[in-house]
Chain A
Amino acid sequence: MFIRLLKESFTRNPRRKLLTGAALILGMAVATATFTVAVDVGDQLAREFRSLGANLLVTPQADTLPVEIGGVDYRAANRGAYLPVSDLPELKTIFWRHNILGFTPFLDVPVDVNISKSGAAPTNAAALKSVPLTLIGTWYKHAVPIEDGSTFITGASLTHPWWKIRGQWFADTAPANEFGHGVARPSRQALAVPNRASQTEPLASTADFSSQCVAGVSLAGKYGISIGDILNLSAGGRSAAALVTGIVTTGDSQDNALLCPLSLAQYLAGKPGQFRQLFVSALTKPADALARKNPDTMTPTEFDRWYCSPYITSIGRQIQQVLPGTRVEAIRRVAETEGRVLSRVSLLLWIVTIAALIAAALAVGATSATTAIERRAEIGLMKALGATNFLVGGLFLSEQLLLAIAGGCVGFLLGAGLARELGETVFGVATSPRLIVLPVILAAAAAVALVGSWIPLYRAAHLPPAPILRGQ
C-alpha cells in the first residue's frame, strides 16, 4: 500500500517532481564540483608557485664570504669551498623526496675568453684580445640516476623556468662516472667526455665541438656574440673551445655571464665532480605556528609532526642530513610570498566553496518547500480518508528521500565531470573524482531536501483537513 502510493506519486505527476529533481541535481553538482576543486586546488596551486623557481639554496658550510656583484664573484680564484656532485642523487632519498621537484648545481669560474666569429677565418681568432668573463657551469635538463633505478631529469628548466633561450640550450654531455661507481647509469648510451680541444690545432668546422655553451643576453650584446660563434675559454692553464648555441635571457645576473654544462666548468676550474651552489625547488606547505617554532626546542611529538610535514624548514633539514657539510637556506623572498599568497588563496577558495554549498542548500530547500506547499490539498484529502500523521509524513518524506538519492547521484556524476573540466581548464590537470564525496553529497542532499519540506509538511499535517480541502 505504502509502496504503491509512493509509486503513484511519482508516475502520476512527474512534472511536479521535475523542479525539485532539477534543483537537487544542479545543487549537488555544484557542491561536488566546488568541493572536489577546493580539495585538489591546494596541491595544484602550490605546484603552480614553483614557476617562481627554486625556494631552497644549498651552499658549503665552510665557505668564505662570497664577494659577488651582478653574478661576478670577486673572490680570488679557488677560494671558497665546494660540494661533490656525486651526493646529489641522495636528494631523492629523503622523506619528502617526491616534493623535491628539481635541483640545479651551479659552479662559476672566472675565464678568459677569445671570441672567433662564425664566419671569420680561424687566423683572426688569435688576433682578438681575450676578455675576462664569468663562466657558470650548470645543468639544463640533466639525467640523474636515483635509488629506485629510474632517472630523474632535472636542471635549470625546473628551478629557473623563466629563463628564455633564443637558439638552443647546450648539449649536456656528462662524464660517465659522474655519480660514482655504486650507481648504475640506466640506459644512457656511452657519451663522450667533452672535447677539450687544445688550441694548438686549428678548429675548422663547428661539427668538431662537443662542448657547447649559451651566452647571457647582456653579455652577448656587449661583445657582439651571436649563435654559431666559437669561444676559446681558458682558466688556470686549462682551456677548451665551445660553440655558442643560444642566447639566454634570465633577467638576473646570469645575463652577464656564459652558461655551460657543469662538466665543462668543472674541468676549467680544476674541480672535477664539484659545484658551489645548489638551487632546489621543493613543494612545500605554507608555514603555520608549528613551522615557526625552533625545531631544536620542540617536544618529540612536535618534532615528529614537524619532520613529517612538508614545511620548507623540515625539507631543508632533511636535505642537510643527506648532504653533509652544507648549509641549507630557504630563499625567503620566494618562500614567504608563496606561503602567504597560498594560504590566502586557499582560504578565499574555501569561503567561495562554502558560499556555493549554501547556495546549493538554499536552492534545494526552496524548491522542496515549494512542491510541499503545492501538495497541501493532497495531504488534506489523505487525512480526511483516515490516514495518520505518521503515514502522511512518512510518505512525503520517503518521496523526498528517493528524489534526494537519485538527484544526489546524478548531481555527483555531473559535478565530477564539471570539476574535471574546471581542473583541466585552470591547471591543465584533470581532478580525479573522489568517491568519498558521494556519501557526503547524498547525505547533504537528503538533509537539505528533508529540512526544506519538513516545515510546510508539518504545518499541513497538523491542520484540520476541512479548510485545506476547501482550498483556504
Chain B
Amino acid sequence: MFKRLLFHLLRGNRVRLTVALLALVSGGAVISALINLDLDVTHKLTQEFRSLGANLVISAPQTATSAPGAPSLIDESAIQSLHRHLQRDENNQQRSVVVAPYLYLVARAGANPGQPVVIAGTWLDRISQMEPWWKIAGTGNLSRTDLSHCLIGRNVSRSLGLTTGSTVTLHDRGQSVSLIIAGVADTGGSEDNQIFASLPVVQTLAGLGGKIELIQLSVPGSENQVRAVANHLQAVLPALDVKPIPQITEAEGNLLQRIRFLIFSTGLLILVLTVLCVLATMAALAMERRRDVGLMKALGGSIQKVVGLFLAEAGVLGAVGGILGYALGMALSVWMGHRVFGASISPRWEVLPVTVVLMLGVALAGALPLRLLGNVRPAVILRGE
C-alpha cells in the first residue's frame, strides 16, 4: 500500500518532480565535481611544479679537512641504498622520485692547451625528467651507458664553435676522451656553460672511479611531504647531507596553499547556493502537496503515515538526484581535468556517499514544512484556505 502510494506520487505531477530532480541533479553534479577537483588539485599542481626540477640535494658534508676548492665526494653505492630506501617509501605513498647523480670536472676542450669548460657527468636518460625545461636541438634521448656521446650547453656551442654531430676532445691531467655531440641544449641557466656526458666518462677522465659529487632528487608532493622525505633520507643516510632546495619547496608550498584556499572557498559558496536552490524547489513541491495531505487525513490516514509518505518521496528524489548528480559531476571533473591539466582526474568513490547524503539531507530539509501542515485540520485545507 505504502509502496503503491509512493509510486503513484512519483508518477503524478511529473513536471514539478522533473524540476525538483533537475535542481537536485545539477546541485549534486556541481558539488561532487568540485569535491573531486579539490581532492585532486593539490596532487595535479605538485605534479606541474615538478617542471621546476630537483627539490632535494644530497651531498657529502663539507669538512675543514677536505682541501679548499675540492668538493667532498660520495661513493656511487650511495645511490643504490638511496633507491632501496625510496622504494620502501614508494610502496607506502606511491611516489615517483626521479634520482640523478652528478660529478663535475673542469677539463680543457679542444687541442692543447684548450679552453677550460665544466663537464658534468650524470645519467643522460634522466635529463628529460629532471630538467624538463631544456630545449635540445638534436638528440636529447641518450642512454645511461652511452659512452661516446654528450650534450653541450648553448654557450659552449657558441664559444667553442661546436654543433651537433661534431666531435669534442676533452682532456684533464693526461687523460683524454673524444665525444660526439648528440645535441645542443638551451637550458636558460648556468647549464648553458656546461658539457653533459655519461657519469663513467667523467669518472674516468677525472680519475675518480665510482665517485659522485652530489645526487639530485625530484620528489613530488607538498612542501611537508618533501620535508618528510628529506628527514627520512637524512635519518637512513646519516653520513650524507640531505637538503631541500628552499627556492623550490617554499615557493611551491606557499602558492599551493593559496590556490587551494581560493578554490575551496569558491566551492563553498557554490555549495551554499546549490543547497538554497534545491531547498526552494523542494519547499515549493511540499507546499503543493498540502491538498494531498488534507485529503489523506480526511480519508483517515494517520499524520505519521502521511508525512512519512511524503518524506519517502523527498528521500527517493534526493537519492536519485545524488546518484545522477555524482555521475554527471564525475564526467564534469574528468572534462575539467582534461581541459585544465591535460590529464584525467580519476573519479573518487568516496565522493558518492558524500553527494548522496548531502542531496538526501537537502531534499528532506526542503520537505520539512509538511510536518507543520500536519497540525492543520483537513477541512481547512480542503476548502483551499
Given known A-B contacts A52-B251, A69-B106, A70-B104, A426 and B261 have beta carbons under 8 A apart: yes
Give the complex CA separation of A133 and B266 in angstroms. Answer: 53
Q: Mark B229-269, 1 if CB is under 8 A from A, else 0.
A: 00000000000000111111011001100110111011101
Q: Does B79 contact A (CB under 8 A)?
A: no
Q: Does B364 contact A (CB under 8 A)?
A: no
Verify A37–B341 contact, CB threshold 8 A.
Answer: no
Q: Mark A358-371, 1 if CB is under 8 A from B, else 0.
A: 11101100110110
Closest residue of A by beta carbon distance from B248: A52
Give the complex CA separation of A456 and B209 in angstroms. Answer: 85
CB-defined contacts of B62 to chain A, threshold 8 Å? 218-219, 221-222, 256
Given known A-B contacts A355-B270, A359-B30, A251 and B118 have beta carbons under 8 A apart: no
Q: Does A298 contact B (CB under 8 A)?
A: no
Verify B243–A251 contact, CB threshold 8 A.
Answer: yes
CB-contact partner of A48 in B53, B255, B267, under 8 A: B255
Chain A residue total in the interface (Cβ 8 A): 82
Give the complex CA separation of A348 and B265 in angstroms. Answer: 14
12 intermolecular pairs with C-beta atoms under 8 Å apart = A23-B277, A26-B273, A45-B259, A52-B52, A64-B159, A69-B118, A132-B69, A221-B62, A331-B189, A359-B270, A367-B276, A373-B284
A466 to chain B, nearest CB (A): 14
Verify B189–A67 contact, CB threshold 8 A.
Answer: no
Closest residue of B by beta carbon distance from A133: B68
A405 to chain B, nearest CB (A): 20
CB-defined contacts of B255 to chain A, threshold 8 Å? 45, 48-49, 51, 341
CB-defined contacts of A329 to chain B, threshold 8 Å? 188, 192
B interface, over-half SS? helix
Q: Does B89 contact A (CB under 8 A)?
A: no
B58 to chain A, nearest CB (A): 13
CB-defined contacts of B355 to chain A, threshold 8 Å? none
Given known A-B contacts A65-B115, A337-B52, A345-B259, A471 and B251 have beta carbons under 8 A apart: no
Interface residues of A in 69-103 (CB under 8 A from B): 69-70, 72, 74-75
Give the complex CA separation of A330 and B186 in angstroms. Answer: 11
CB-defined contacts of B187 to chain A, threshold 8 Å? 332-333
Interface centre among A65, A218, A427 (most CB of B within 10 A): A65
Interface centre among B259, B269, B283, B341 (most CB of A within 10 A): B269
Q: Does B336 contact A (CB under 8 A)?
A: yes
Q: Does A224 contact B (CB under 8 A)?
A: yes
Verify B193–A362 contact, CB threshold 8 A.
Answer: no
Q: Mark B57-71, 1 if CB is under 8 A from A, else 0.
A: 100011110101101
Verify A68–B118 contact, CB threshold 8 A.
Answer: yes
CB-defined contacts of B57 to chain A, threshold 8 Å? 251
Q: Does A349 contact B (CB under 8 A)?
A: yes
Verify A333–B133 contact, CB threshold 8 A.
Answer: yes
Q: Does A391 contact B (CB under 8 A)?
A: no
Verify B258–A48 contact, CB threshold 8 A.
Answer: yes
CB-contact partner of B250 in A51, A218, A256, under 8 A: A51
The 8 nearest A-B residue pairs measured at CB? A332-B188, A363-B277, A370-B284, A359-B273, A222-B62, A251-B246, A367-B280, A162-B246
Given known A-B contacts A19-B280, A65-B117, A363-B276, A74 and B106 have beta carbons under 8 A apart: yes
CB-defined contacts of A349 to chain B, threshold 8 Å? 262-263, 266
Verify A341–B273 contact, CB threshold 8 A.
Answer: no
Verify B340–A348 contact, CB threshold 8 A.
Answer: yes
B195 to chain A, nearest CB (A): 10
Verify A222–B63 contact, CB threshold 8 A.
Answer: yes
Give the complex CA separation of A154 and B41 in angstroms. Answer: 35
CB-defined contacts of B188 to chain A, threshold 8 Å? 329-333, 335-336
Closest residue of A by beta carbon distance from B44: A344
Give the complex CA separation of A286 and B159 in angstroms. Answer: 31
CB-defined contacts of B298 to chain A, threshold 8 Å? none
CB-defined contacts of B122 to chain A, threshold 8 Å? none
Interface centre among B66, B133, B159, B384 (most CB of A within 10 A): B133
Given contacts A51-B255, A132-B68, A250-B246, 14 further A-B contacts (CB under 8 A): A23-B277, A30-B270, A34-B269, A51-B250, A51-B251, A69-B71, A133-B68, A162-B247, A335-B188, A348-B336, A355-B30, A362-B274, A366-B23, A427-B258
Q: Does B34 contact A (CB under 8 A)?
A: yes
Verify A356–B339 contact, CB threshold 8 A.
Answer: no
Give the complex CA separation of A393 and B339 in angstroms. Answer: 43
CB-defined contacts of B61 to chain A, threshold 8 Å? 221
Q: Does A408 contact B (CB under 8 A)?
A: no
Interface residues of B in 328-385 (CB under 8 A from A): 336, 339-341, 384
CB-contact partner of B244 in A34, A251, A345, A351, under 8 A: A251
Give the complex CA separation of A10 and B216 in angstroms. Answer: 71
Give the complex CA separation of A37 and B264 in angstroms. Answer: 13
Q: Does B287 contact A (CB under 8 A)?
A: yes
Verify A369–B19 contact, CB threshold 8 A.
Answer: yes
CB-defined contacts of B133 to chain A, threshold 8 Å? 332-333, 336-337
B295 to chain A, nearest CB (A): 12
Verify B159–A65 contact, CB threshold 8 A.
Answer: yes
Verify B283–A370 contact, CB threshold 8 A.
Answer: yes
Interface centre among B62, B188, B262, B270 (most CB of A within 10 A): B262
A330 to chain B, nearest CB (A): 6
Q: Mark A46-70, 1 if CB is under 8 A from B, else 0.
A: 0011011100010000001111111
